[in-house]
Amino acid sequence: MRPKGTWVELEQRRRQALALLKQGMRPAHVARAVGTSRASVTRWKQAYEARGARGLAAKRHPGKPPKLTKRERRRLVALLKRGARRHGYPTALWTLGRVAEVIERHFGVSYHPGHVWRVLRSMQWTSQKPRPMPASATS
């Protein structure tokens, strides 16, 4: 299981552990101090001895590359900011299905509507739900 924290925070924790080891603290005590296992502290020490500071650096785990490039994501933001009506929808509300259709129409990339949420979140977009209008206001 991946430990909690950002890549930067995890790297700082490894550096802190190494600093404590250099001060003469035993691996078991270092592990308690930084909130990890003794085995991790030993592994970090070995990585540092083998590769220096690079051995403590955060490693990106390879995964499938995103279907949309950064440039395409910026363009998607601009397209979405125009509003749903400008894309031919009867209301101004963006749904995940509508966003998926816009992505496919403009970029030729097919996403399941459920995955569109991940794409939007990666662009710092949030879910917003319009307030219901009172019946008297709509007449």
Percent of the chain clearing pLDDT 90 (strictly above)? 65
Structure-model confidence comparison of residues 42 and 129, the more confident one: 42
Q: What is the mean pLDDT of residues 43-66?
A: 86
Nearest residue to 44 (alpha-carbon basis) of 56, 28, 57, 54: 56
Structure tokens at 67: 């279907």
Q: What value does the mean pLDDT of the chain take?
A: 89
Structure-model confidence comparison of residues 5 and 25, the more confident one: 25
Amino acid present at 96? L
Amino acid present at 70? K
Percent of the chain clearing pLDDT 70 (strictly above)? 96
Q: Is residue 8 pLDDT above 90, yes or no? A: no
Structure-model confidence comparison of residues 65 and 128, the more confident one: 65
Q: How confident is residue 1, by pLDDT bands cut at 50, 70 and 90? A: low
pLDDT in tens, 110-132: 999 889 999 999 888 887 777 77
Is pTM beyond 0.85? Reply is no
Angle, helices 96-107/70-81, rounded to nearest 10 degrees: 120
Nearest residue to 20 (alpha-carbon basis) of 2, 11, 32, 9: 32
**Backbone dihedral angles phi then psi of residue 61, each to the nearest 5 degrees:** -85, 125
H-helix or E-strand containing 99? Answer: helix 96-107
Q: What is the mean pLDDT of residues 51-57?
A: 89
Per domain, the residue ranges of the chain are 7-56, 70-122
Structure tokens at 56: 């403590």
Task: Work out the burial of residue 43: count CB atoms within 10 Å of its CB; fewer than 13 is exposed, 13-18 middle, 19 or more buried.
Answer: middle
3-state helix, strand, coil in the chain (%, to 5): 60, 0, 40
Q: What is the mean pLDDT of residues 33-42?
A: 94
